[in-house]
Amino acid sequence: MLTPGQVLRLLAIQRVLIRHGLDEIIFATHLLRPVRFLLYLLPWNWVRSHQAPRAVRLRRALEDLGPIFVKLGQLLSTRRDLLPEDIADELAKLQDSVPPFPGNVARRIIEKAYGKGVDEVIMEFDETPFASASIAQVHAARSRDGREMIVKVVRPSIEKGIRRDVGLMYILAELAEHYWRDGKHLRPSRVVAEFEKTLLNELDLMREAANASQLRRNFAGSDQLYVPEVDWGLTRRNVMVMERISGIPVNDIDGLRRAGIDLKWLAEAVVESFFTQVFRDRFFHADMHPGNIFVTVPNAGQRARFVVVDFGIMSSLSEYDQRYLAENFLAFLKRDYRRIAELHVESGWVPAGTRVDEFEFAIRTVCEPIFERPLKEISFGRLLLRLFQTARRFNMEILPQLVLLQKTLVNVEGLGRNLYPDLDLWQTARPLLERWLRSRAGIRGLVKNTRENFPLWAEKLPDLPNKLIDLVERARKGKLHVEWQSTEIEKLRREIRRTNRRSVLTIVGSAFIISASLVFALDGFAPMMLGNAPLLTWLLGGMGVVMLFAAYGEM
């Protein structure tokens, strides 16, 4: 049921869609296609001049609808396995930049979070923000001990707007699933649920601070990547304070050259650090676009490092996904398409009943044209995307963490090649992948797994002899019972019981019918012996028919 606020918002959305000529998309839906002729009767279509391409109109409409719809467009731009290429490319241009809210409002939010005046906590606070986005804005500050800091403040009342607009998105997604031809396959409700989760996570700055701290710990002592330090004493759910870093934006190529930065080293460092996050730590920054990366200018005797900021979107892989991802990339390098297909089935990414040979042929068809180009020009991210698009035809469920990985990989590749056009990503990443696989296999992997599991084994070992003695004693006395709980086994047992019942009922029912036939046949020859044969015939035959119906009614 729509609330009054949602009704007004829906009318506002409708006006924006009409203004940008997107009513043609609405009338193209399965529900309204029979009355598509009405599109040409609407007055605003009589004077409509030449229009921009549909993707451009869609991007402009999202920008007019406000920051929450801009965020939705950004999320959709990562789902290239779902969207046409022209729309995905255009949505990728959406900028998460909105007008700032007043600095005195930010000050009041901070004071409410701390329960005291800003000046009592932070020595200096600049009310003029230097960055403003849809969820929060950032202010410069100086701590009481003189450190340069940044203060990130969540927008006032943003959660109410999120819940209103996301509620509308759920309603539209459910309508799409019912009336859009591809709705059930693409599951727009699941996309909206993923979007809602992402937005609500970004509202919690404690979560973002925890992400930053984890990444900083993972790269402590690194000579490539630096992560700013969080001030936990001043961080709250809607206010985050962390170290301020000065640097050159990574897409300022001229500025990097003037600072004497080795662009080849920087490109390789960005790529290598990302693959280290994925294959060493299984925890990666999932929003590594140029606006979130800066390069520090080295002092005498120091080396440049790149700095990442904005930790609202992070992701992780299970060890299972990590292993199959690494093996997939290496199988691609060897063009071992059979192994790629087998890995997808083994990992559960595609249904167990998928025919490996058919999947192998589909992958070969996609990949062979790509490998006609020089290896250094091949994009990891694009290759992964094509694989997802192929696997979707085989009912592969694309997990959110894999979508984020593919999107971030495209960003990292584009960034690396912008810095150094001759960058060979395969050559940079391959040693990391092979090193990771060696650490998980062979003697080294065995030693590592033994070392990691030894504390658990040591805890269980003292009780092992008692359990063995108890097991042997129960077996000797005939009290050992093996219990095997399996839904498939239970289903098989039920089916066997049903089959047995059908067999018994069929045999008995057939016997009654045969008896009835014999009684009917012998009626004229042995009247003395059989008595009232017609009645007995009907009785035996009826019982037989009932039993046969009972038997086959269970099928």
Q: pLDDT digits over 300-350, tens only?
A: 567 789 999 989 888 888 887 787 778 887 888 788 888 888 887 777 777
pLDDT for position 458: 63
Between CA 163 and CA 199 the distance in angstroms is: 10
CB 60 within 8 A of CB 73: no
Strands 225-226 and 306-308: parallel
Please name every residue paired with 240 in a beta bridge, in sequence order, or none if there are none: 152
Which stretches of 78-134 are DSSP H helices? 85-91, 103-114, 118-121
Q: Give the model's pLDDT for residue 109.
A: 93
pLDDT score, position 498 = 61
Q: Is 287 considered catalytic here?
A: yes
The predicted pLDDT at position 395 comes to 76
What are the C-alpha distances in Å from 506 to residues 99, 315, 537?
79, 60, 18
Say which amino acid occupies 445: G
Tokens of 245: 């870093």
pLDDT per residue as tens digits for the range 516-548: 555 445 555 444 444 445 555 555 555 555 554
Catalytic option among 287, 310, 321, 424 = 287
Q: Which residues pair with 316 in a beta bridge?
A: 283
Q: Which DSSP string do the residues of 453-507 spell out, in sequence order?
A: HHHHHHHHGGGHHHHHHHHHHHHHTT--------HHHHHHHHHHHHHHHHHHHHH
Check: CB of residue 68 under 8 Å from CB of residue 135: no
* pLDDT for 548: 46
Checking 65-70 for CB contacts under 8 A at 24+ apart, the result is 65/13, 65/16, 66/98, 66/161, 66/165, 67/96, 67/98, 67/133, 67/134, 67/135, 68/134, 68/161, 68/162, 68/165, 68/166, 68/199, 69/165, 70/94, 70/95, 70/96, 70/98, 70/134
In this prediction, residue 211 carries a pLDDT of 94
Which pLDDT score is estimated for 97? 66
Say what the pLDDT of residue 554 is.
46
Which pLDDT score, from 0 to 100, does residue 168 have? 80
Residue 421 is classified by DSSP as T
pTM for this model (two decimals): 0.70
Taking every pair of C-alpha atoms in the chain, what is the biggest distance, in angstroms? 126
- The predicted structure's pLDDT at residue 60: 84
- Give which of 86, 81, 26 is closest to 56, Cα–Cα: 86
Q: Report, as ranges of residue numbers, the positions in the chain whose pLDDT lies below 70.
A: 1-2, 6, 23-50, 78-82, 95-97, 176, 179-187, 300-301, 372, 374-376, 397-398, 440-461, 464, 473, 476-555
